[in-house]
Structure 1
Amino acid sequence: MYLCITGFLPNNAEDDSLKYELDVNAAFNDQIVQLLGHESLEAMAEGLWPLTNEQVAQISELIGQALPSDLEMLIGVEE
């Protein structure tokens, strides 16, 4: 299992298509789960979780990759 970050245009009902997707290297799973305050990766698998701008910035720094700051960002578990 690994984490997947997705981004959509904020508050745009006319265009709900996916604008950004990143499959996060599984090596970061534990750190991101802890950063977001979840119990485990399995507990996160229950759905998609919205990310705050602060969480996006923290994850970006952690993984060493820039993430969009102008999109509504979500994170979920993929198998």
Structure 2
Amino acid sequence: MRYLLISGFYPDDKKDDSLQFELDIDGSELNEKVAQLIESKPLAEMEPGELLLNESQVTALSEILGVRFPAGLEYFIGTCAKQ
């Protein structure tokens, strides 16, 4: 089963590439809703890898997920597989 993972890092100019934020999106319905928001397609059709999220996507994700994202980070979303 595939799911989405959001990760946050400091921008490159901070010269700190350590993970600052991580969120697994639980539930197939929520994963599908997020996939439609980010890629306008079903989760099963999303390519492996990470995508950089823009500010409006992060704001929309915050509302959908009910999560407050720390300011000052760059956020990425990627597909993962549950074993």
Counterpart Cα distance in 2 of 1:71 and 1:38:
24
Kept after mapping to 2: 8 A contact 1:7/1:71: yes
Flag the 1:42–1:19 CA change in 2: closer, same or farther, 3 A: same
Deviates more, 1:46-55 or 1:11-20: 11-20
Q: 1:75 aligns with which of 74, 77, 80?
A: 77
* TM-score scaled by length of structure 2: 0.82
Select the residue among 48, 51, 66 that pairs with 1:49.
51
Q: CA RMSD in A?
A: 1.6
| Post-superposition CA distance 1:3-29 (Å, at most 9, x none) | 100000012363111111011113311
> The residue matched to 2:19 in structure 1 has which SS?
coil
* Partner SS, residue 19 of structure 1: strand
**Is this contact kept in 2: 1:38–1:44, CA < 8 A?**
no
**Higher normalized strand content (fraction of residues):** 2
Other structure's SS at 1:2 match: strand
1:7 paired to 2:8: yes
Q: Unmatched 5+ residue regions in structure 1?
A: none
1:65 Cα shift?
1.4
Give the TM-score normalised by structure 1. Answer: 0.86
Q: Tell me the secondary structure at the aligned position of residue 12 of structure 1.
A: helix
**How big is the shift at 1:69?**
3.0
Instruction: Give the ranges of 4+ consecutive aligned residues of structure 1 lying more than 6 Å apart after TM superposition.
Output: none
Corresponding position of 2:37: 35
